[in-house]
Amino acid sequence: MIPIHTFLDLARTRRSIRRYKPDHVPEELLREVVEAARWAPSAVNLQPWEFIIVTDPEVKAQVGRNARYFGLRWPHIHEAPALIVVCARKVSKFSRDDCIFAGANIMLAATDRGLGTCWIGGFDERVIRGILAVPEDYILPGFCTIGYPEGETEAPPKRPLDEMLHRNTFQGRRGGLRKLRGPLEVLGRILRLQGRRGQMTEDRWQSHDISE
């Protein structure tokens, strides 16, 4: 793991963690991570978000049974000691973006404290809202699993900076990603990438999320 000395080190160290130790995460650490989310930017400083810390095994199990994306479930929801759910009042068209900013702060703050996270965005929002008793006029963009990582997670391959960096206009773009034709093609790309890396067995695929 990269030693953390600067913010760039922190950003490079963060991983999507799908294997967790059973160790309990202290309440003060969970609160500290949410405190970082509270300071995320929001449109017109509306701060529309609310945060739900889920540690009850039965509630967590219900979320795990009902969170899926195109038939894929996320077993690490059951394994993680806690979840941090981000929801928001529909006060502006930017409320969902605001939640994503808060989620990024959660993941970085957790990494800074030796915790691992994985952002979960693939689920039926209506079903999960019902399990967590979130009011109907709130959106629920996603949530993080959080806990102490079990073992090391290799850094995923990242596109070179020069391949994605433009100056002044988009003209002169080199390489990059072509437009993907929907979720199934995205899923196919994930499978091909993982196959080339040779780091995934059939049972580990079942715990693989689309975020890195």
Short-list 6, 18, 7, 3, CA closest to 194: 18
Give the Cβ contact number of residue 48 at 10 Å. Answer: 21
Q: Which fold has domain 7-155?
A: NADH Oxidase (3.40.109)
Q: What is the pLDDT of residues 101-146, one digit of tens each?
A: 999 999 999 999 999 999 999 999 999 999 999 999 999 999 999 9
Torsion of CA 156, 100, 138, 64, to 10 degrees: 20
Domain ranges, ordered by start, for the chain = 7-155
Confidence of residue 5 (pLDDT cuts 50, 70, 90): confident
Which is it for the CA torsion 12, 87, 32, 63, positive or negative?
A: negative
Residue 93: band (very low, low, confident or very high) from pLDDT cuts 50, 70, 90: very high
Residues 6+ apart with CB under 8 A from 14: 107, 108, 111, 117
Q: Judge whether 107 and 142 are in contact, CB under 8 Å.
A: no
